[in-house]
Structure 1
Amino acid sequence: MATPYNGRLTSLSHGGGCGCKIAPGILSDILKASPMRNLPTALLAGNDNNEDAAVYQINEHQAIVATTDFFMPIVDDPFEFGRIAATNAISDIYAMGAQPLFALALLGMPIQVLPLEVIQQVTAGGESVCNDAGIMIAGGHSIDTVEPIYGLVAIGIVDPKKLKRNNGAQVGDSIILSKPLGVGILSAALKKGVLSDAGYQEMIDLTTKLNRPGITLSKLEGVHALTDVTGFGLAGHLLEMARGSNLKAQIQWDAIPMLQEAVEHVKADIFTGASTRNWAGYGNEIALAKNIELWQQNLLTDPQTSGGLLISCAPEQEAEVLSILKLGDFSNAQKIGQFEAGSGVSIN
């Protein structure tokens, strides 16, 4: 029997936002069963190193960037759910340094449970974000599901010479994070009914902020690698950059921007199950200082729905990168560490 709708979208799903992602260890095992073979040279980015999007070159100056992202509700407001899901999907285009072109909607809804007007609000939220990004939803696909699901296929375009991948970091590069951590923890607090009104608004503001500066950052030669922080948490996405670049990410805990209410909740043992799954998947490659506590570990692995950009740039370009982010209203952007010779991620 279907769960009746009580006005709370999150009550209809077993997880929410990017916390729904399959755990990194399991995902790795799944992908090993179907390795990509005989790749054309025109495919500039694919499954290798968990890139944010696939990139296919069509001529000397243009490459198509394609990505998809969808998940179950992270908030109860259907319009905001649609906005968050759309922002998160388009973020992967910006994270490659590309310009979004158009999107296709992915919609799965329990038709016998949710009122039609609620579903309409979800799609309207997605459309509003696409409008802000200057693109249209040109089509899509919908199915009748047990749990509500919404997201986009996002298509963009980039000059191959300006494409930013997550594996180009260089020794000595500064590591910059554009949004504070803690969105997953706030979502857990929301489900438990202990999130403040201010914390809720902060969560909405962050998860619906488009990572537009990625386009400008792609034009800087000193920006060597770019990605966004989503379901695998800061530690997981840093590890992807480190692995791909054959380097070690050295991070200073005190430099990491984080949401103060999220810190309060995680200290009270409120966090998502995805944090634990993330650590189980890659924790053996993360070196934590002896004084790092469990709550700090749970922040490092906290799944970030529509999280910030993670940037590796030459030290001499650090000030310009931060200026671009601040002008783009990413006031929390900070340098959090640097890349060094070695492997893995180290948190001091």
Structure 2
Amino acid sequence: MRSSDLAQVLRNIPATNDQKIKAGIGEDVFAYDHNNGTILQTVDMITPIVDDPYQFGAIAVANALSDIYAKGGIPKYALNIIEFPVSSLPLSYLEEMIKGGTDKALEAGVAIVGGHTIDDSPKYGVSVTGFLPENGKFISKSGAKPGDRIFLTKPLGIGIYTTAIDEKLATEEQVTEVVSQMTTLNRNASEAMIAADATACTDVTGFGLIGHLSEVAEKSGVSIELFNETIPFLQDAFQLLEQGAVSEGILKNHYSFHKNVSHTAKLTRDEEYLLYDPQTSGGLLIFVPQAKTDSLIRELNQRNVPVYPIGMAIEKKDVAIETKNKLR
């Protein structure tokens, strides 16, 4: 769904007066103060994006957990949400899908304690409950300040690769590469940003890099300089774009967010598409004060998390995002 469509259907939901609610619509999670702590809840589900049901289950759970990690939280419990066509697919597929999800949840220290199923075309996700650690800070989208440096923890191009899988364009090596990215939890990246006192964070998922940067810019009241030359991407992303792996999601994101962007150097169609590519289980987009950049890099390196400096927050301008230079 385009972000403009989502905004339209949510506009009539009444605001709540409950002062214990710290975050809701417009954030990655619902956050609620309770018994001197903060409870976090989120939900996400996806359609199959790889052929292997075990891998699909693991990806779906890793993807859903990322919203908790992006807020500096610790996921604890989850409920399965499953649509599965029992009359047209073997139950062994469902069994493997659930096993993949369960194993990924256990890796994260999360217990899947129940769920709900519907007889329909296959989809899988989880509703996750977590909490902020003791004395922890809720890391919102609205905390970025001018001068903050921006880091990304996974390369872009996941949506391009999964489109290539769907269109039978991807090689075994490309499938292995993208599955590795999508099944990597953002737990270590979250721990690192907490230690480095991040000011703002979100995970890069369906709205692509530009869409999620736009959200932070709007909610924080800043603009963003994006350094195209340092943006990471999966090694065959451009090759697959040239072969036609352009998803509907790229086009929807471009339609929704291109007006937020000014380019100082002319980009090719494919370079621009990469910036709008919707990610599944993408990396964290972390904002830290300039004085904390070395700390963040050190903390990420200690946890074997890739770190890519991709820009900085600046005083608010007429345009939300200014890109510098070309991607390649």
Same fold (TM over 0.5): yes
Once the two structures are superposed, residues 26-59 of structure 1 have per-residue CA deviations (whole angstroms, 9 ceiling, x without a partner) of: 1111111x23323311100000xx2110100113
**Who is 1:217 aligned against?**
193
**Who is 1:29 aligned against?**
8
* 1:161 positional shift: 4.8
**Who is 2:29 aligned against?**
53
Distance in 2 between residues matched to 1:281 and 1:210, nearest whole Å: 28
Aligned partner (choices 43, 47, 59) of residue 21 of structure 2: 43
**Who is 2:281 aligned against?**
306
Aligned partner (choices 290, 295, 309) of residue 335 of structure 1: 309
**Who is 2:128 aligned against?**
154
TM-score (norm 1): 0.89
Is 1:179 the counterpart of 2:179 in the alignment? no
Distance in 2 between residues matched to 1:203 and 1:103, nearest whole Å: 25
Assess if the C-alpha contact under 8 Å between 2:192 and 2:303 holds in 1.
Answer: no
Distance in 1 between residues matched to 2:112 and 2:280, nearest whole Å: 21
Let me know the Cα RMSD of the aligned residues.
1.3
Distance in 2 between residues matched to 1:198 and 1:259, nearest whole Å: 12
Code of the residue aligned with 2:123 in structure 1: it is I
Once the two structures are superposed, residues 139-197 of structure 1 have per-residue CA deviations (whole angstroms, 9 ceiling, x without a partner) of: 1111111x101000011100575111111001100000000000000011112222122
Distance in 1 between residues matched to 2:297 and 2:244, nearest whole Å: 33
Q: Which runs of no fewer than 5 residues in structure 1 stay unpaired?
A: 1-21
Give % identity. 33
SS at match of 1:276: helix
Assess if the C-alpha contact under 8 Å between 2:64 and 2:126 holds in 1.
Answer: yes
TM-score (norm 2): 0.94
Code of the residue aligned with 1:297 in structure 2: it is E
Structure 1 runs (4+) greater than 4 angstroms displaced: none
Aligned partner (choices 110, 115, 128) of residue 140 of structure 1: 115
Moved more, 255-264 or 178-187: 255-264
Q: Report 1:69-84 matches (<5 A).
A: 69-84=44-59
Distance in 2 between residues matched to 1:267 and 1:346, nearest whole Å: 26
SS at match of 1:257: coil
* 1:77 positional shift: 0.4
**Who is 2:164 aligned against?**
189
Distance in 1 between residues matched to 2:166 and 2:94, nearest whole Å: 21
Distance in 2 between residues matched to 1:29 and 1:82, nearest whole Å: 31
Assess if the C-alpha contact under 8 Å between 1:166 and 1:227 holds in 2.
Answer: yes
Q: Which runs of no fewer than 5 residues in structure 2 stay unpaired?
A: none
**Who is 1:17 aligned against?**
none
